[in-house]
Amino acid sequence: MKTFVVGISGVTNGGKTTLAKNLQKHLPSCSVISQDDFFKPESEIETDTNGFLQYDVLEALNMEKMMSTISCWMESPRCSLVSTDSGSAEDIPILIIEGFLLFNYKPLDTLWNRSYFLTIPYEECKRRRSTRVYEPPDTPGYFDGHVWPMYLRHRQEVEKSSWEIVYLDGTKSEEDLFKEVYEDLMQELAKQKCLHMTT
């Protein structure tokens, strides 16, 4: 079955989950898989020499479990439990995968039909992060000592990707971001449908 897989990645607190949820409300046959749901338990997270828990790295995630959730969806997208709207038979089932480390994970590289990457400046990121409650809580210096340097490293890797990634300004309003991505997706889906009809 034809499917359409969207990746929404980017900086912590860039608005990935918010954007994915807003899109899901307006797209037919749309499921969302969140990478946030695949963190390993704290007991399995490494600590660096400064005592910072190494959460912002691929090793902190159970990527095998995430891949098997994606494979389940691929096998039966219309019956998937993560979809909130069954849509109609003509709709191409859409899967949005959202998370901070998607385009750095090679096994996913061939999956994307459209890739987005949300960015926000350092100050705004630090501000948004300070308003959130994390479990375990961020320790003093954690943002500057672990979170932001890891983001910069990952972003450098993403910029070397061999496929097109659409960068989004995460300081725009939720509504503007939704509109921008929704319109772009409508165009991409229309291209996909044309392609589908001619093959």
Ligand X SMILES: Nc1ncnc2c1ncn2[C@@H]1O[C@H](COP(=O)(O)OP(=O)(O)OP(=O)(O)O)[C@@H](O)[C@H]1O
Which are the catalytic amino acids? 36
> Taking CB under 6 A as the criterion, which residues in 94-153 touch ligand X?
100, 128, 131
- 159 contact, one of Mg ion, ligand X, none, CB 5-8 Å limit per kind: none
Count the neighbouring beta carbons within 10 Å of the beta carbon of residue 56.
20
Count the neighbouring beta carbons within 10 Å of the beta carbon of residue 94.
25
- 49 contact, one of ligand X, Mg ion, none, CB 5-8 Å limit per kind: none
Count the neighbouring beta carbons within 10 Å of the beta carbon of residue 128.
16
Instruction: Report the alpha-carbon distance of residue 143 to residue 122 in Å, rounded.
Output: 10
Establish if 174 lies at the interface with ligand X (CB under 6 A): yes
Which residues of this chain interact with Mg ion, rule CB under 5 A?
16-17, 36
Establish if 7 lies at the interface with ligand X (CB under 6 A): no
Look at the chain and count its residues: 199
Q: How does strand 4-10 pair with strand 166-169?
A: unpaired
- 88 contact, one of Mg ion, ligand X, none, CB 5-8 Å limit per kind: none
- The site for ligand X, by CB under 6 A, has a size of 16
Judged by CB under 6 A, the residue of 5, 6, 7, 15 near ligand X is 15
Q: Give every strand in the sheet of 114-119, ordered side by side.
A: 30-34, 94-98, 4-10, 114-119, 166-169
Establish if 93 lies at the interface with ligand X (CB under 6 A): no
Residue closest to ligand X when measured from CB atoms: 15
CB of 7 to ligand X, least distance (A): 13
